[in-house]
Amino acid sequence: MTTGFPFVPAPVQARILIVDDDVATIRVLAQVVQSQGDVVFATGGADALAAARAERPDLVLLDAEMEGMDGFQTCAALRTLPGMGDVPILFVTSHRGVEAEVRALAAGAVDFITKPFHPHIVEARVRTHLTLKQRTDALLRMATLDGLTGIANRRALDTGLAHELRRLTQPGASPLSLVLADVDHFKRYNDFYGHQAGDDCLRAVAGALAGSVRRAGDLAARFGGEEFAILLPGADADAARTVAEKLRRTVVSLALPHAARPDADLVTISAGAATLPPSPGGDVDALLVSLVAAADQALYRAKADGRNRVAVAGRDAG
């Protein structure tokens, strides 16, 4: 059944990070919140940052008074990590003054629990903030997923492109590749089989697309209509060709009949790939236009050369 919104899966078990240099306090807090998620712990700020980098938590319980890197410094540092901007951080501290609470909120905390704490209060606040985060995550998924295919939408692609192009202009950056793919003779398919079958076809191609990207940071998205895109941070032209070819072969292996096309009898795709080298100090807007135009021209060439093939900008003859 096709709906106007993507299916939003039930949230997985929450991951709760407890940060305190007192092991006894960690044990007590872990007992209080263990029914609400998987509990991990750190006994200092550096350990907390390492744990958050290894696997992003869904909520952090953070002690304010710790040796070395205190809770305020740890909170501010956690907020700078990728994906940690919306993770609720709750301070657990013996400070009761307004000044400490304001300082905690300024560092990025969302709540403030004073010691000695009551277990039921901690449990209730953790439950409340986890529920709010799950709802926020669900809304974010709905805002960034394509309603028909369930993969990332154009908005998510544009956001990812902007982020990666900014990275490309920084010292020490790696290449950035973009693959644009288009379902061959899709209008003929839609006219012959009907729009419901056309939607099923797009969902099948989107599934193949999602299965073709495996690295963290890669993004498979619907570009618009029957056109799709794959964003490949750190991938050079050879790697981009490999991914595009894998996608093309996967779509062929779906063996979806296409009796209305004049040149074959199965659904296929054509793909164009383009790569930008690191461009320290470059103009992001100009780089965006260059990358998308190069991938689009390569896609046009793949179609002009017979479809069901991959062309790479700067690599294949025009």
Q: What is the spatial distance between Cα 258 and Cα 280, in angstroms, rounded to a whole number? A: 46
Number of Cβ within 10 Å of residue 318's Cβ equals 10
Name residues whose C-beta falls within 8 Å of residue 82's C-beta, 6 or more positions apart in sequence.
Answer: none
Q: What is the spatial distance between Cα 233 and Cα 4, in angstroms, rounded to a whole number? A: 31
The dihedral formed by the CA atoms of 29, 35, 37 and 39, expressed in degrees to the nearest 10: 40
Residue 226 bears catalytic tag: yes
Q: Which of 99, 164, 226, 245 is catalytic?
A: 226
Number of Cβ within 10 Å of residue 12's Cβ equals 10
Q: What is the spatial distance between Cα 201 and Cα 190, in angstroms, rounded to a whole number? A: 9
Dihedral-angle region of residue 217 (phi above 0 means left; psi in -120 to 50 means alpha; beta otherwise): left
> In this structure, which amino acid lies at residue 232?
L
- Specify burial of residue 232 (Cβ count, 10 A radius: 0-12, 13-18, 19+): buried
CA angle (86, 92, 93) in 5-degree steps: 135
Question: What are the catalytic residues?
Answer: 226
